[in-house]
Amino acid sequence: MSALDWVTVTLLCGGGFFFLAGTLGLLRFPDAHARLHALTKADNLGLGLVVLGLVLQAPGPAVAAKLILTWLLALLASATSCYLIAGVSRGRREDASAPRDA
Amino acid sequence: MLDSPLDPLLALGIIAVAWTSLSSRNLFTGVILFIVFGLLMSLAWVRLDAPDIALAEAAIGAGITGALLLDALGQIGSDGRERRRPPHLRWGAAAVGIAVAGLLTHAFTDLPRDAGGMTGAVAAALPESGVSHAVTAVLLNFRSYDTWLEVAVLLVAVIGVLSLRRGVGLSGPEPSGAADDPMLPGMARVLLPVMVLVGGYLLWRGTHAPGGAFQGGAVLGSAGVLLLLAGDRPFARLPGALFRGALMAGLAGFGLAALGLLASGRGFLALPPEHAGAIILAVEITVTLSIALTLTALFAGARQPDGTAAPDGSAGSHRP
């Protein structure tokens, strides 16, 4: 295993740690907004570190570019869905707490 | 057989997710787990050296089907109307399921090991097929009749869904202007060009590597679904005749190729080696277009005409 391989393994383990932390947050945090925060950490940093580790092993710039594009697309999707879910969850909370007139 | 410690974990994971998805009381949980199941199945196909099926499973099984199920769930509510069936029906169904599983296991274990199947024959005939990827050669040249009929099945499905709308068009109600949230349309604006590019790339790539018409069509269909979710009304701008023509294009493309070859004396769907590549590409383009439009129309057609939920089919009466 070369030095590059060791760097890749370290980065993959780091990414794995963030995925673990995100899953733990999903299971243990009290409300939807905190859980969303944990999940997007997993997508952002976790996937980012994994992709960075794999980029170091990529056979060429084309493959590396595709890996980074995958990360950017996942980032876009997770940010938008986090926003939409948070909006729905906030709407539900407001419906629950606001007084309704008939 | 097991050359990675990941494989037993994957197999166990698939069974566990399938069981949890079927047995969960909450329909929303079941649907989400079904999407996860699709993703794990796609990984399993990769491990079995079938990347074409993995691509199709990820795009259609986890993607489009997941979107259709979630949309249906939004209309019926996650507690659903679970009718408890009488015990003898359930035991009967369980017995049939176990019998089929037993038959399949027996058939699977009875297969000769390392017989190679048709791989040798396909590889020998590959140079004459017009493409350099074995799966595409089988799907669009050696067994093109089956693929033609699959396209027909998709067309029948979309006709069925559209017929159930009782003459109501596919475009939803005029947007009231209240839904001004810019996030989803903004994301769609960024993602749609990428999705069109990926869909076209998968179509072109199928000639020499995993990819093809179904995978490309599924990605383009997902782009259509994203367009619908972002609030656009693409069917309002599409003339009816063009819409129907495009739905038919895949079936018609195949049919024209088949009948043309028959008329020129070569035989039904017998592609001549010197033109096979061009014919396959032309047919694949029409099939991709049809599949993309079919999947989008299936999603649009499953929505109630007046945009609200009406599980007991009374949507027609609300229509202004």
Which residue has better confidence, B179 or B249? B249
Residues A73, B184: C-beta atoms closer than 8 Å: no
Give the mean pLDDT of B4-19: 91
- Reduced to 3 states, what is the DSSP secondary structure of residue B122? helix
Tell if the pTM clears 0.80, that is, is over it: yes
Q: Which B residues, 102 through 121, put their C-beta within 8 Å of a C-beta on chain A?
A: none
Q: Is pLDDT above 90 for A90?
A: no
Do the Cβ atoms of B10 and B40 come closer than 8 Å?
Answer: yes
Q: Given CA atoms B302, B308, B312, B316 in this order, what sign does their dihedral have?
A: negative
Residues B191, A83: C-beta atoms closer than 8 Å: no
* Chain center to CA of B173: 27
Among all residues of chain B, which has the CA nearest to that of A87?
B181
| Closest by Cβ to A83, choosing from B183, B190, B194 | B183
Residues B187, A76: C-beta atoms closer than 8 Å: yes
Give per-residue pLDDT as tens, B76-121: 766 655 667 788 888 899 999 999 999 999 988 888 777 667 778 8
Do the Cβ atoms of B220 and B198 come closer than 8 Å?
Answer: no
Best A23, A39, A68, A73 member to test B by mutation, with max B CBs in 10 Å, is A73
Side chain identity, residue B247: L
CA distance B47 to B222: 25
Q: Which two tokens stand for residue B31?
A: 């649907």
In this prediction, what percent of chain B has a pLDDT beyond 90? 30
User: Which helix (DSSP H) or strand (DSSP E) does residue B290 occupy?
Assistant: helix B276-301
Q: How much is the ipTM here?
A: 0.81
Q: What is the maximal distance between C-alpha atoms in chain A?
A: 71
CA dist list (Å): A35 to A80, A82, B77, B110:
15, 10, 23, 49
CA distance A40 to A19: 10
**Residue count of chain A:** 102
